[in-house]
Structures are given as C-alpha cells and as structure tokens.
Amino acid sequence: MVLEAIRYKPGSLQILNQLKLPHQEEYDEIRSAEDGWHAIKEMRTRGAPAIAIVAALALAVELQCTTLSDNAEEVRAFILEKLQYLVTSRPTAVNLADASRKLQKVVSNAAKQGGGDGKAVVKAYCDAAAQMLIDDVSDNRAIGKYGAEWITRTAAEGKVSVLTHCNTGSLATAGYGTALGVIRSLHGHGQLKRAFCTETRPYNQGSRLTAFELVHDKIPATLITDSMASALLKSQGPEERIAAIVVGADRVAANGDTANKIGTYQLAVTARFHGVKFLVAAPRTTIDLQTPSGVEIEIEERAGKEMTFVKGPRFDGVDLDVSRVETVSIAATGIDVWNPAFDVTPAELIDGIITEVGVVEKEPDGKFDLTFAMEAHN
Ligand code: MRU
C-alpha cells in the first residue's frame, strides 16, 4: 500500500492527520481555504511541498463547492484574497508563497483571456492546483534518482549508509519524497546498506513520521536521537559508516544557504568535521532566488509547549491504548523556552543541492550558482 498524505479528487480533499501518527491513521476532510489554513498551522499536514499543495487544493475544493459570481474579475479577486490568507499560515517554507504566486498568475491570465467568464477562472485555478500534486511526485522521483547516483558515485563503497533528519518523505510531499526519495531510490537499486534517521526534537518528525515511512516500506533503518549524530559519524561500524547526510529544505536562498528543520545546521557542522558529504534535496519550488542569503529568511518560532509536552497513546504497562491519547509534561513547569522551528545551514557546509534537474555543485569559486537550475522554471 502506498502512503498517501494528500487524497484529492475534484470536490474532495482529505489529509492524513500527522498529529496522530504513528499510532492512528486518520484522514481529515478539508472543505475550504480556512480548513487548509488551520490544518497547516496546527501541523496536521506539514513539510514544505505538502503544505503548498494542501493550501492550493483546499482553495480548489472551496471553489468547486461554492456558488460564485459569473464575473471573472470578481472571481479573480476572491481567489487572490484567499491565496494571500493561505500564505500567512506558516512563514519559512517558500513553496507556499511560490505556489501562491504561480496560481495568481494563472488566475490573472484566465481572467484576461476567458471573456469575462468566472467559471473559466475557477477551472484554470483548479487545473493548475491539481497539476502541482502530479508534478511534485515526478519531481521527487527525479530528485531520488539524481541523489542516489551522486552518492554512489562519490562513495568509497558499493553499498552505502546514509543519515537523514526530519521528515521529507511521502508524508511531507505529494509522494515519494525528497531526501527520503533519495533513500527510497538507493534502496530500490539495492545500493542502501542502512538509513539512519534522527528523532528530530522537539516535534519528533523523524521518530513519528520518517521512521513510520521506513518501517512501512521495509527499508533497513535505525532511529537515533539528535544528540547521537556525531557519535554515529565517528563510528566505523560496517553499517554505521555514513557516506552522506541528506536532508530536505524549506527554503534555499540564492547563495545556497538553506533553511530546514531545527537541528540541520548542527548536522552540517559535524558532517564537515568528520569529512562526510552533506546534501540538500529539494525541488526547485523550494529555491528562492528573491532571497539573497539565509540572513533574510524568516524563521518561525513555535509555542514552547511543543517542547515541554509530548503527546501519545496511554501505555497500560503491557500495551498501547491508541484510543486514549495523553499529553505528558516532560520539563520543569515555569522554565522559559526558545523554540525556533528551523535553522539556516550556511552554503559553505553544503556539498550539493539535489534538484529534479540534477545535482548543483559549487563553482570553482566555492559558490553555488542556482540561476542555471532555475532557468525554464516559473
Ligand atoms: O515543521 P515541519 O514539520 O513542517 O518541517 C518539515 C521540515 O523541515 C522538512 O525537513 C522540510 O519541510 C523538507 S520537506 C520535503
């Protein structure tokens, strides 16, 4: 069975509620842009590509199920307002803003060309939103292939072990995944010894989502806490020798600086210290040439309680009772908390950026030139 985070057909959108994973698999119905906004904000759906697609499709479903004006200009204004609202749900991942910008263009063109017909504008919007779902899966498959080829070409051994962070798989995208797509591709070609995944504190996307996907796909995998990464890179055990760390991205700035889940930066530092390759896997929708460097990327700060409490099914000493989810405090009451959801890894620490059109490596001057990869995009 293929893991599906997003189920869409015209008039219906369902998302797998990721707050309930890995213990319960429940789909939430999304009927409007407002439902989509809340699902993203509350992290029931997450991951840079997935939130962009859920936002786009949430509005598509609302348009399909609402009686709108016949006037193209009024429909265009309605859609633009909803898109602006959706973009406010989470700030760091650029995919959402990128999708909104592209959809605004589609809608404005359709309003101009459609002879004043509101229905033509809705159709153009919904077709473009549905296409994003399709394109993301094929982009991820290409990322998986390029990334796997790059790692096996540069590795000392035939079969490799890799380390990943956060969740970048089918649950964070429209399907297959970015960094996890690279792991899927390595495994599919018999080139993977073992995948290691971090727990990814504080929200545990690694232990709850990535581990769930790895177990689901029967990929040989081991979970570590974030604090074990350096010890793993130092280890020379036959399975523990790490050929590369491969992570996803929420926004890649024009100079290659990369915002990704908190904890990514420290992995890049330790990778450089241990002489391990550090790769970012991301579709071009995540590359933001308008943002010159990581300094300009807004880092979302989330509620302290995401760090001081954990949620899970009740454990009766023998079994987990998944019907009884409990929230448990794991920190001293009253402690101040700093909870940035992302950090920025400087381009200097990144060896390659794996996109759907190939792996971008540094130029002879030691800098990334992402303009080439972005040609013909947009
Ligand atoms: O806060 P989240 O769970 O939305 O963060 C997800 C990540 O940071 C992922 O690593 C990133 O979006 C890459 S998605 C393919």
- Give the mean pLDDT of 164-174: 96
Contact criterion met (CB below 8 Å) for 264 and 340: no
Q: Confirm or reject: Cβ of 206 under 6 Å from ligand 1.
A: no
CA dist 154 → 26, 72, 176 (Å): 41, 54, 23
How many domains in the chain?
2
Length of the chain: 378
Give a yes or no: residue 217 inside a domain: yes
Give a yes or no: residue 35 inside a domain: yes
Contact criterion met (CB below 8 Å) for 242 and 162: yes
Structure confidence at residue 339 (pLDDT): 97
Please name the amino acid found at residue 190: G
Structure confidence at residue 194 (pLDDT): 98
The pLDDT tens digits of the residues spanning 326-350 come to 899 999 999 999 999 999 999 999 9
Task: State the pLDDT confidence band at 238, using cuts at 50, 70 and 90.
Answer: confident
Let me know whether 108 and 230 are in one domain: no
Q: Which atom of ligand 1 is nearest to the CA of 90?
A: 4
Residues 6+ apart with CB under 8 A from 343: 259, 260, 261, 262, 263, 264, 265, 299
Q: Which atom of ligand 1 is nearest to the CA of 177?
A: 15
Tell me, what CATH number does 260's domain have?
A: 3.40.50.10470
Let me know whether 133 and 176 are in one domain: no
SS3 of 37-49 = HHHHHCCCCCCHH
- Give the mean pLDDT of 20-45: 94
Q: Which two tokens stand for residue 36?
A: 């989509």
Q: Confirm or reject: Cβ of 164 under 6 Å from ligand 1.
A: no
Whole-number Å distance between alpha carbons of 288 and 291: 6
Whole-number Å distance between alpha carbons of 198 and 202: 11
Torsions phi, psi of 269, nearest 5?
Answer: -65, -45
Q: Confirm or reject: Cβ of 89 under 6 Å from ligand 1.
A: no
Tell me, what CATH number does 67's domain have?
A: 1.20.120.420
Give a yes or no: residue 146 inside a domain: no
User: How remote is the CA of residue 282 from the centroid of ligand 1, in Å?
Assistant: 11
Q: In terms of residue numbers, what domain contains 50?
A: 6-137
Let me know whether 101 and 133 are in one domain: yes
User: How remote is the CA of residue 34 from the centroid of ligand 1, in Å?
Assistant: 21
Let me know whether 164 and 62 are in one domain: no
Let me know whether 131 and 187 are in one domain: no
Let me know whether 89 and 164 are in one domain: no
Whole-number Å distance between alpha carbons of 241 and 230: 12
Residue whose CA is closest, atom 5 of ligand 1?
A: 47
Structure confidence at residue 317 (pLDDT): 84
Let me know whether 242 and 286 are in one domain: yes
Contact criterion met (CB below 8 Å) for 102 and 128: yes
Q: Confirm or reject: Cβ of 210 under 6 Å from ligand 1.
A: no
Q: Confirm or reject: Cβ of 260 under 6 Å from ligand 1.
A: yes
Q: Which two tokens stand for residue 9?
A: 């057909």
Give a yes or no: residue 327 inside a domain: no
Q: Which atom of ligand 1 is nearest to the CA of 179?
A: 15
Burial letters 262-271, b for 16+ CB under 10 A, else e:
bbbbbbbbbb
Structure confidence at residue 320 (pLDDT): 84
User: How remote is the CA of residue 323 from the centroid of ligand 1, in Å?
Assistant: 27
In angstroms, how far is the first alpha carbon of the chain from the final one?
Answer: 34
Let me know whether 344 and 268 are in one domain: yes
User: How remote is the CA of residue 90 from the centroid of ligand 1, in Å?
Assistant: 11
Torsions phi, psi of 354, nearest 5?
Answer: -90, 115
Let me know whether 66 and 26 are in one domain: yes
Residue whose CA is closest, atom 15 of ligand 1?
A: 168
Q: What is the ipTM of this complex?
A: 0.96
Task: State the pLDDT confidence band at 114, using cuts at 50, 70 and 90.
Answer: low
Q: Confirm or reject: Cβ of 169 under 6 Å from ligand 1.
A: no
Structure confidence at residue 376 (pLDDT): 60
Given 103, 137, 171, the domain boundary residue is 137
Q: Confirm or reject: Cβ of 286 under 6 Å from ligand 1.
A: no
Give the strand pairing for 192-198 and 160-164: parallel
User: How remote is the CA of residue 48 from the centroid of ligand 1, in Å?
Assistant: 5
Let me know whether 224 and 366 are in one domain: yes
Q: Confirm or reject: Cβ of 147 under 6 Å from ligand 1.
A: no
pTM as predicted: 0.92
User: How remote is the CA of residue 50 from the centroid of ligand 1, in Å?
Assistant: 9
The pLDDT tens digits of the residues spanning 301-311 come to 999 999 999 98
Contact criterion met (CB below 8 Å) for 176 and 170: yes
What is the three-class DSSP state of 214? helix
Residue whose CA is closest, atom 8 of ligand 1?
A: 261
Give a yes or no: residue 145 inside a domain: no
Let me know whether 107 and 195 are in one domain: no
Give the strand pairing for 342-345 and 258-261: antiparallel
Q: Confirm or reject: Cβ of 352 under 6 Å from ligand 1.
A: no
Given 106, 137, 168, the domain boundary residue is 137
- Give the mean pLDDT of 98-120: 90
Contact criterion met (CB below 8 Å) for 20 and 191: no
What is the three-class DSSP state of 313? strand
Let me know whether 181 and 103 are in one domain: no
* Catalytic residue IDs: 250
